Structure 1
Amino acid sequence: MLRTSLSFLCRRSLAPRVLRAGLRTSARLNSSGGNTPMDFPCIDKLESRQRDLLAGPEPTYEKIVTGYQTYQHGSPFICDHGGQLPSMRIAYETWGHLNADRSNAILIHTGLSGSSHARSHAQNASPGWWEKFIGPGLAIDTDKFFVICTNVIGGCYGSTGPSSLDEEGVRYATAFPLLTVNDMVRAQFHLLDHLRIQRLHASVGASMGGMQSLCAAALHSERVGRVVSISACARSHPYSIALRFAQRQALMADPNFNRGRYYDGVQPHVGMKLARAIATVTYRSGPEWELRFGRRRQKPDQPPALCPDFLIETYLDHQSERFCLQYDANSLLYVSKAMDMFDISHSVTQRLERQRSQLQSASCNVCLDASEQPVSGELPREETGDEIIADLVRGVEKAMQPTLVLGVQSDILFPVRQQKEIADILRKAGNTRVTYYELDAMYGHDTFLIDVVNVGAAIKGHLENSD
């Protein structure tokens, strides 16, 4: 009884003060005592953008990057997982000059959404995505080397991809065949044949580019002199696959995605924006964001909002909005899926090679549907940890080139343990010229784009070493 009375008195004495405080701090109590709806300026902005897209033409991705050259591969290009491209175009850019015996060429492999524009030049003065790494006296010295960078097939910056026109003048969309990293590399070596470059001085890449670099060394070992693999992997691991899956699901959930056939309608702008926001979280690191943004809010004198409020939220919103109309949504699906499937293991590469060879020898000249693909044997059984490593070692047993493997401790997308795995399998395969560096940088996966001093010095030393 006493406890009840005290509780009642406390409620009576506190109620007026609580009410007064609530009236002072809340702007959402109306005269009837109800709550007014939350404002959503971020949704208003998205809806406004959608209306603008309805009123105007779709972006032409090929015009975003200019000044590149193209190589047209006239014969059919058979893909590892079935399907073919009747012809294939590769966009590429070059810097420096070939020497007399054409032995000083370096091939730069791009990441997921990279274009061939790695460095500015006379035909395109805009800074490239690796502007501070390529040039006279820089990490990749154009006074010494002839540098080539391509847009991978499946991309949208000049190379054949889902947004390209097929033989009937219709965009491929999701009728485009599934690709592998191996397919991308084989296409690049067709370009090298066209340029009459028999052997590269080096194959260099970061992220998906590092996958390509390792693939080039393993599958075309006689044509690659040196290897640089930064923040990559020998096989995609479940965590990075899961992150890219979330991006694709966000994109495909956009009502405008239309199963990939959106070219005559509205681009899936919202889905692309969400996918890019997820990706950006994986590209940088918590320590960097703690330093740059902390818990600071954009407008600390105003009530919290569900739209971008903290500075880190406004950063993600800005970055994703800037990207979402500059890259084709279908290219994002196809190229990211190729990353997921990457595995340099001997059993995987041999299975793909057998399957592609069977497709090439097929008597028909049309693209085979999945149901028509030849059976390449039983599915592999589940392997033990030791068997997986042994399979990876066999996959790189021809990659005996001097190799630089570079990892970043703050990278959550391609953690340093995956870089160690690359170095370990190369050494177990018998490669005695593997250099492994691990950087203590705060920039996460994007360190290869930012840390000019450390990343650049490692690359320069490796490329110019006389060994």
Structure 2
Amino acid sequence: MLRTLASRRLASKVRPASSTAAEAAAATGTLLQRSLSTSRPVRSGGSSSSSNPPMSFPCIDKLETRQRDLSNGPEPLYEKVVTGYNLFRHAQPFVCDHGGVLSQIQLAYETWGRLNKDRSNVILIHTGLSASSHAHSHERNTRAGWWEAFIGSGKAIDTDKFFVVCTNVLGGCYGSTGPGSVDPLTGQRYATTFPVLTVNDMVRAQFLLLDHLGVDRLYASVGSSMGGMQSLCAAALFPQRVGRLVSISACARSHPYSIALRFAQRQALMSDPNFNRGFYYDGVMPHVGMKLARAIATVTYRSGPEWELRFGRRRRAADQPPMFCADFLIETYLDHQSEGFCLQYDANSLLYVSKAMDMFDISRSVTERLRAQREEAERGLAAKGSGGGRTVCGAASVCLSEAESPESHVGHSGVETGDEIMADLIAGVKDAMQPTLVLGVQSDILFPVKQQKEIADILRRAGNTNVTYYELDAMYGHDTFLIDKVNVGAAIKGHLENV
């Protein structure tokens, strides 16, 4: 125990910085691995006078086994989880809303259908937090995509009519530039020197891809969850380039409840001793923290009524004594789901992308403040004339600190009353006059229907006379957009094909 505490104190002092980041991270990771291997608790069979045998912990045994396996082998290469995508490379510096600069970026993207002659049939699919560009199967990757049932010939998004594009977001780990990518300026992975991102940054990167493809105007922008945020953002930032808007289970601004839930996930992840402030790529990945974070997230993705129907209060082995590890069937479900995810997604990407979700707010004052910050950083970059350092405002952690200073969280430029906040939101979408479909789910606790109604309301009050709002009475919670192909699919198809 003393050795563990000592190694953790030493690790806390070895904070990676600038060119020595990788070496310091490797040293710290080695110390942490040694502490885990040498200070495991002694399993006691109990004293002879004990009235009861000790509790068994098969879940901890499993975690320790997995930890040893990860210590003996390389970290999963997340970019190999998804294959068969195209790469768009933007060789110019990309300045982010909070002042960070990427000297160049790349976006992974996949396409389905055929582009018509005037390039007017393009639909851009925006993903949720952890989804890849692989929304549907194709010859280069025949595995089913995350929206397989909704895309294809005759389906909700009909590839006989539309040319469909889906990207892995900036900050992701499935081919697009993210914290796991190599920084061209250092030859090392960015880790947490990666700049803080916004949803607006993700959308601006996507429109650079559209420029590359020669697409001046989208037939439609379609997204669910964080993708719905991006879709709304695209319509507001590029109103002349978006023909139709579909936003499913999203929001116009993140609610404190969802922010709190994602904060809990990040805290669980960062508490893993292998996290090492994000510099874990040359050591052991934060498997336990990622698993806990995903378990928390999974609770928010589905609904109580569904779980009551599927699992009830049934236990895995009703004839066995209760235990603290997975005992009820709902617990075994959470354990299985979280274990499957934690080796499939980069922990740093989870931090950056979820933080971008937290900060999302379509209000005009917020959008203008972000634009002003970015333009100031661009001027600073031009003054340097160097072709782009990593950040203008300093280390990424400094950028985040400034972005979250008390002054920047006063509200909408000091606006706090309900009417003024609503007016700010309305002003933020004043140019989004596209035919719009807003879809909500009554059992969604992460993005409740109140937030879907708010999107429809601000668009209508801004002057958009073609807003359709549907509210589904489905039991699948937030994940309804992945599951209910009949109702969700019909709503999307009707909106896209209604002339």
TM-score (norm 1): 0.92
Amino acid at match of 2:177: T
Give the conservation status (yes or no) of the 8 Å contact 1:214–1:227. yes
Distance 1:121 1:429 in 2: 40
Counterpart among 466, 478, 483 of residue 433 in structure 1: 466
* Structure 2 unaligned spans of 5+: 1-44
Instruction: Indicate whether 1:392 and 2:416 are aligned.
Output: no
- State which of 75, 89, 101 in structure 1 corresponds to 2:118: 101
CA contact (8 A) 2:107 2:168 kept: yes
Matched, 1:316 2:322: no
Distance in 1 (CA, whole Å) between partners of 2:50 and 2:168 is 60
Tell me the secondary structure at the aligned position of residue 93 of structure 1.
Answer: strand
Letter in 1 for 2:414: R
Give how far 1:32 is off.
Answer: 3.5
- Which of 406, 423, 439 matches 2:439? 406
Answer yes or no: is the 8 Å Cα contact 1:114–1:151 preserved in 2: yes
The equivalent residue for 1:180 is 198
CA–CA distance in 1 between the matches of 2:466 and 2:349?
Answer: 36
CA distance in 1, matches of 2:198, 2:366: 11
Is the aligned partner of 1:206 residue 2:234?
Answer: no
Equivalent residue of 1:178, what SS?
coil
Q: What do residues 300-347 of structure 1 show as CA deviations (whole Å, max 9, x unaligned)?
A: 000001000000000000000000000000000000000000000000
How far is the alpha carbon of 1:30 from its aligned partner?
8.8
Residue 165 of structure 1 is aligned with which of 159, 182, 198? Answer: 182
1:113-124 aligned at under 5 Å gives the runs 113-124=130-141
For each residue in 1:74-119, what CA deviation from the matched residue of structure 2 results, as whole angstroms up to 9, or x when unmatched? 1000000011000000000000011010000000000000100000
Q: Could you tell me which of 75, 78, 103 is aligned with 2:95?
A: 78
Would the alpha carbon gap of residues 300 and 188 (structure 1) be closer, same or farther in structure 2, given more than 3 Å must change?
same
Contact 2:136 2:148 in 1 (8 A): yes
Partner of 2:439, secondary structure, is strand
Give 1:221 deviation, angstroms. 0.3
Q: Deviations over 1:393-443 (max 9, x none)?
A: 000000000000000000000000000000000000000000000000000
C-alpha distance in 2, partners of 1:419/1:381?
A: 25
Q: Please say if 1:368 is aligned against 2:392.
A: yes
Trace 1:283-362 onto structure 2 (pairs within 5 A): 283-362=301-380
Q: RMSD over aligned Cα, in angstroms?
A: 1.7
SS of residue in 2 equivalent to 1:407: strand
Partner of 1:465: 498
Quote the Cα distance in structure 1 between the aligned partners of 2:331 and 2:75.
28
The alignment partner of 2:277 has SS state of: helix
Letter in 1 for 2:334: L
**In the alignment, structure 1 residue 151 sits paired with structure 2 residue 168:** yes
Measure, in 2, the Cα distance between the counterparts of 1:173 and 1:251.
15
Structure 1 contact 79–356 (Cα < 8 Å) conserved: yes
Letter in 2 for 1:428: R
Which amino acid letter does the alignment assign opposite residue 486 of structure 2? V
**AA of the residue aligned to 1:309:** D
Structure 2 CA distance for aligned equivalents of residues 33 and 112 of structure 1: 49
Contact residue 415 and residue 421 of structure 2 kept, 8 A: no
Match of 1:58 among 75, 90, 112: 75
Deviations 1:377-399 (A, max 9, x none): x7522421110000000000000
- The answer to whether structure 1 residue 89 and structure 2 residue 106 are counterparts is yes
Structure 2 CA distance, aligned partners of 1:162 and 1:358?
24
Report which of the two structures shows the higher radius of gyration computed on alpha carbons.
1
Quote the offset at 1:199 in angstroms: 0.2
TM-score by length of structure 2 reads 0.86
Counterpart of 2:256 (choices 223, 226, 238) is 238
Deviations 1:249-278 (A, max 9, x none): 000000000000000000000000000000
Task: State the AA in 1 paired with 2:217.
Answer: R
Q: Which amino acid aligns with 1:140?
A: I
Contact 1:30–1:36 under 8 Å retained in 2: no
Q: How does 1:271-290 map to 2 (within 5 A)?
A: 271-290=289-308
Name the CA shift for 1:29/1:352 in 2 (closer, same or farther; >3 Å).
closer
Distance 1:41 1:169 in 2: 41
- Give the counterpart of 1:422 among 442, 455, 472: 455
Q: Deviations over 1:150-202 (max 9, x none)?
A: 00000000000000000121000000000000000000000000000000000
Which of 280, 288, 296 does residue 270 from structure 1 map onto? 288
Q: Alignment length, in residue pairs?
A: 438
CA distance in 2, matches of 1:32, 1:388: 66
1:39 equivalent in structure 2:
56
Secondary structure of 2:148's aligned partner: coil
Residue aligning to 2:279? 261
What is the alpha-carbon distance in structure 1 between the residues aligned to residue 256 and residue 75 of structure 2? 35
Mapped to 1, the partners of 2:48 and 2:296 lie a distance apart of 41
- Classify the secondary structure of the residue corresponding to 1:37: coil
Q: Which runs of 5+ in 1 are unaligned?
A: 1-27
Give the distance between the partners of 1:140 and 1:336, measured in 2 at CA: 27
Taking only the aligned residue pairs, the percentage that are identical comes to: 76
Please give the alpha-carbon distance, in whole angstroms, between the structure 2 residues aligned to 1:326 and 1:382. 41
Opposite residue 308 of structure 2, the aligned amino acid is E
Whole-Å Cα distance in 2 between the matches of residues 322 and 32 of structure 1? 42
